[in-house]
Every structure is written in structure tokens, then in C-alpha cells.
Amino acid sequence: MDFRNAYAHGFARVAACTLPVVMADPARNAEATIEQVRRLHDDGVAVALFPELGLSGYAIDDLHMQDVLLDEVDRAVVAIAKATAGLTPVVVVGAPLLIGNRLLNCAVVIHAGEVLGVAPKSYLPNYREFYEKRWFAAGDDAVDTLINRPHWPGADEDGDLAYGTDLLFEATDVPGLTVHVEICEDFWVPIPPSSRAALAGATVLLNLSASPITVGRADDRHLLARSASARCNAAYLYAAASEGESSTDLSWDGMTMVYEMGDLLGESERFPSGPQATVVDVDLDRLRQERLRQGSFDDNRRVEGIGEPGGESFRVVAFELEPPTGDIGLRRKVDRFPFVPDDEARLAQDCYEAYNIQVSGLEQRLRAIGQPRIVIGVSGGLDSTHALIVAAKAMDRLGRPRTDIIGFTMPGFATSDGTKSNAIHLMESLGITFETLDIRPAATQMLKDLGHPAGDGEEVYDVTFENVQAGLRTDYLFRAANQRGGIVLGTGDLSELALGWCTYGVGDQMSHYGVNTGVPKTLMQHLIRWVVSSGQFEGEVNGTLTEILDQEISPELVPTKEGEKIQSTEDSVGPYALQDFTLYHVLRRGYRPSKIAFLAQHAWSDAATGDWPAGYPEGERPAYDLETIRHWLEVFVRRYFSNQFKRSALPNGPKVVAGGTMSPRGDWRMPSDVSSAAWLAEIERNVPTA
């Protein structure tokens, strides 16, 4: 595998371009187009989109029907086709073309020295400032499926080329790269041609536009492009006309943008001086995986009759792209924390929703089973802290006293004074009922009964030593819940479940309701920060929450001597930042390990580049090299597969993030005895160590 090459990982580089036009001078417009295409070739671009009627100019009115102009447009198409020989990009340019007795507003698709096909505009605006029906015929009722241009490179032996609104241009050597073209007004109608093309298999939807600018129109374009890309599980490229178009009655802003499944990948400066191009890498795997998961997408195709007997069909024009090899970089933002937005306002919104999803889920569970008390183990760590403040807010909203929450702090052999103190301070400041229950005598007795050396004081700190403590804590919580009319509120999070970092059965894997099971570890600290910043609680609560945020993540099960580093969860299972990165792309995207490693390298190789979530401490911003990424990726795969049995017996709990959950009743179903061999072999084959 060409590991560092973006095309090898399912990406395709695309460009939405605009450039100054010279009205009614196709030769000069062709020269400018060719110059830009050559630059895009050097940049590794696969698809280059240009504006509507870019060869002639859009706002030339009756000159569209002049023979001199049409002859020059014809020559311009040939010139561009010949100039693209040996170049990578599929070039899509706008041109008025005479077909039969009518003039059509067309997109000409060109690649590697040949014209691949011609797509006419289906819907012609003839209202307000638009007057297109004076010059053009609508392409949606075209009878012919071929256009005859014997002198155009790419024409067959009869001089014909593919023509119509039903053309899909498919790269045979870039899986998933299937292009459809529509023009301007086509995406302003209720059912755009691109929607049906997407159902037929198009993944990259292009819109050549002229689109004179008026106040507010740019927002409308964003709305439509974002919507089209989201509904169609596709990429949507848009390019509008720029300087040089007539300003007799209108003005032009040269807007270009690319959306992918509702996400804006890039846009160019508006009202530019000179050529502009939005160049980004589209994730074809993401589009394919989303369509694979969303079965209703293909159901819609079937109901609409696309590809069905007697229904609408699309023609495929195949071509070989020959994409660039080697490291060409990656032209898209890769979030370090896919569960945590970088944008501060978006993060606050996500935290508001996540917190209230958890609170309302717990409220409903309490109402449904007769308003029991809540029994919870409070360690002073992130997860139990967050579960407790969710419980407190649920009680507030239900109009119940917080004393109906019974918190237990249960020090074991390695519990630090700091975490114990934080746990007690938090419970005191929240005003819940709480007790301290020292599990060490019972744990020592159990170890002794088992014949474990630690029962006699020997320093043997194995998994049994750890799980005796974890199991006793949960056992006590369940018995206390029986005794006091309560339910055990689980505190374990989504990341721990993915990695199997929990004790099965009578352990922290089990509870009556798992309020945190839909929350990844990397989001947890931001949720607690949001609770503080948004003033969910008063008094001393916020100060204690802030102290808890500063602690290292540790299970505190193995004793350490003075001067020794405390037991660290991340030393065992890996940095949660990396493991949550992998979790998201496995759970939500279904990506190969090699692609995850490729993305992780781009996201994590340099701490000084890219965005960090608001509030992330500057002194704690790590970087990871490829060797480290590969190591923890292998750990993730091994643990993820071997611990499915814990997730198969998961208690109820609300789904929180769109990235998914581990619930066997929700997002994730997998046999408990399946092998990880194929995934580990893929890492071995395709991910280098450096």
C-alpha cells in the first residue's frame, strides 16, 4: 500500500474554481481555464469544476445565438481537450452548444485529451433578473442521447459523444469516484437532477453556476448545497461566475464551495480579483459507508424506480483517472477529537444537549419504575463525578430532594487522599446522603479465602487483586440498593466499554442504569467544564469540579510507594485521545485500520498545527508519531474484539453522541467470540512502523 497517499485511503482531491471571464471571447477564456487546470494537475486534483457558460460568458444575452460566438466556443472546447492530454483532472466547463435546432446551456466533461460527454441544463430560470428561455432550450426533454461532433477529441467512429442529463462519469481506478453534473437552477428546484443521480450511484455532484449575487443569496446557496450533500450522502461542489461578467444590471461574487454530507470542507474568498479555487479532499469511503448503513437510501432508489425494470436509468461513462502517487498531503481538516467540536459555540451546544440527554433519560427511568432512590459509588474521578451531577440535576428537575441520592466513597488499597477528599467535598457540596465504606478488610479476607498472596500481605498486584476491589465495590452498591430502596447508577463511559476497561458482572460493567455509557472519555471533561461554566450548580460545587478535572485518570487499584508514578489507565489501554479517535472511525465510519492510522497521523503528528477544543490546557497537548499510533491501534483492535462479551450484557443507558454507542440493542451488534485476526493482519500489511 502507498500508505502516505490520500487516494490510497479512499480520498479524491476536487476543486471548485472560478476565474475572470472575458465576455464573448471563448479563446481567451479557454486559455485561462487551461492555465488553471495545469496548476490543479500539479496539485493532484481529480475533478475541476468551472462556472456556468464560462467559455462564452453568462451575461452576454443575444450574443449567445451568434454564429461567430458559437464557432469560437466549439474551437475552445477542442483546445481545452487537447491541452488536457497527459493531465489528471476531469475538467468540467460551461458552454452554449447548438444541438439540432436549439441552443442548450451545457457542461462539457473533459479528461486526458478527450471529451467524455455533455450534460445540458434541465431547468431554465425565466423570472426576475433571469431570461434564459429567450436563448436556451431545457435539457430535461432531450430526445437524443448522443451529440455529434466528429472533430472533438473523444468522439467515436461515427463522430458521436454521450449527451444527456442521465450521465454518470465513473473512474475505474478510484473506487467510489462517480461524478454527476447539473447547472445552476437545477439545484434550486424541489427535486434536483442530482438527487436522482445520487440514488443511481453518483457520489460527487457538480454544479456549474453563474448566479448573480444579491444580498442574502450566498446564505441560500450554502443552505441548498449543504442540504443536497446531506440528503444525498454525497459531496457537492459549487462554482459561480466571477469578475468580467457584465455589470449592466447585475454583479457577481465568484463564490466556490465544497460540502460533504452536510460538512463544509472549504470555500473561497468572494468578490475575488483573479482566479480562485477551493481545493479539498473528499472522503469517498465515508460516502460509501454512510449509504451502506442507511438502508433507506437505497430503498428510496427502489421506490423511485431508478435502475428498476421500466424505471429511470443512468448511463455510465467510464474513464481511467491515473491518480497521483506518493505523499500529496491531505486537504481537509481531520479532528483530533471527533467526539468533541473545536468550535467553542458548537462545543457548548453539544455539551448542553449531551448533559440534558443524560438527565432526561435518568428522569424517565426513575419515573417509570416508581421513583426509587439512586445509589452511586463516587470515587472522585471524572466518570463518577459526572454521573453524580447528572443524578443531582435529575432530582432537581423531578422536584425530589438530593438526599435521595446515596453516595458511597469506598477506599481501597490504592485510593489517594486527593480523590477521596474530592469525592467527599463533592457529595457534601451537592447535599446528597453519603457514607464512607472501607472495602480493604473485606478485600483482604476475600484474597485470603482465595489463597492469593496479597491476602497475607505480599505485594502481588495482579488482575485478581484489582478485580477483587472493583467487584466488592459493585457488590456493596447492589446490596445497599436492595437495602435502601434504590437503583445502582452506573458510571462507566463509552470509551471504557470499547476497550473493555471494566470488571464484568459483579463489577463496574454492571448497574441498573448506565447514565454514562453513551459518553466518550474525551467528551467527559468538557461536559464537566460546561456544567461549571453554565452555572448548573451553585456554591462550592464548581470549585470541587474544577479540582477533579485536573487529576490524572487512574483506577487506583494498585498501591504505589513514595516517589513512584501512580497507576495510570492510559499506560495500560492507551491515550484516550488516540483510542477515542479510533473508536469514532470504527463505530461511525467502518474504516480500515490503515486508514485510521493515516488520519491519526495527520491529526496528531504535530501539536502545534490544527485546532484544539476550547478549554484544552496548552501544556497538555501531546503529539504522537506513527509508531505510537500503530502500537495503540493494535491494542485497540485486540481489546475491542476480545471484550465484546462485556458489551453484550450492557445495562440500559441513553445514546448521547452521533458517533454511536456500544449498546447491543442500539448501534453495535457483534458476536462475543469473533476473531480480530483480519483487522490485525490489515495493520501488519498496510501500516508502516515509521
- Of the candidates 470, 448, 471, the residue with the CA atom closest to the CA atom of residue 460: 448
Q: How close are the terminal C-alpha atoms of the chain, in Å? A: 14
**Is 473 marked within a binding site?**
no
Q: Which of 72, 106, 121, 466 is catalytic?
A: 121
Q: Which of 52, 72, 556, 634 is catalytic?
A: 52
**Is 380 marked within a binding site?**
yes
**Is 165 marked within a binding site?**
no
**Is 491 marked within a binding site?**
yes
**Is there a contact between 443 and 469 (Cβ–Cβ < 8 Å)?**
yes
**Is 378 marked within a binding site?**
yes
**Is 594 marked within a binding site?**
no
**Is 611 marked within a binding site?**
no
282 three-state secondary structure? strand
Can you tell me which residue has the cell 437495602? 483
**Is there a contact between 489 and 387 (Cβ–Cβ < 8 Å)?**
yes
- Of the candidates 50, 112, 118, the residue with the CA atom closest to the CA atom of residue 83: 112
Distance CA(520)–CA(350), nearest Å, equals 13
Question: How many of the other CB atoms lie within 10 Å of CB of 146?
Answer: 17
**Is 148 marked within a binding site?**
no
**Is 351 marked within a binding site?**
no
310 sits in the region (left: phi over 0; alpha: psi -120 to 50; else beta) called left
Annotation says 52 is catalytic: yes
Annotation says 232 is catalytic: no
**Is 377 marked within a binding site?**
yes
Q: Which three cell numbers stand for residue 439?
A: 472495602
Q: Which of 184, 245, 466, 595 is catalytic?
A: 184
**Is 127 marked within a binding site?**
yes
CA distances from 399 to 353, 391, 395, 569 (A): 21, 12, 6, 38
**Is 496 marked within a binding site?**
yes
**Is 131 marked within a binding site?**
no
**Is there a contact between 194 and 228 (Cβ–Cβ < 8 Å)?**
yes
**Is 422 marked within a binding site?**
no
**Is 382 marked within a binding site?**
yes
**Is there a contact between 396 and 427 (Cβ–Cβ < 8 Å)?**
no
Question: How many of the other CB atoms lie within 10 Å of CB of 646?
Answer: 23
Residue 561 burial (C-beta neighbours within 10 Å; 0-12, 13-18, 19+): exposed
**Is there a contact between 329 and 6 (Cβ–Cβ < 8 Å)?**
yes
DSSP state letter for 587: I
- Binding-site residue ranges: 127, 211, 217, 377-384, 467, 491, 496, 501-504, 646
| Annotated binding-site ranges for L-glutamine | 127, 211, 217
Instruction: Just list the catalytic residues.
Output: 52, 121, 184
Binding residue numbers for deamido-NAD(+)? 467, 496, 501-504, 646
> Which residues line the annotated binding site for ATP?
377-384, 491
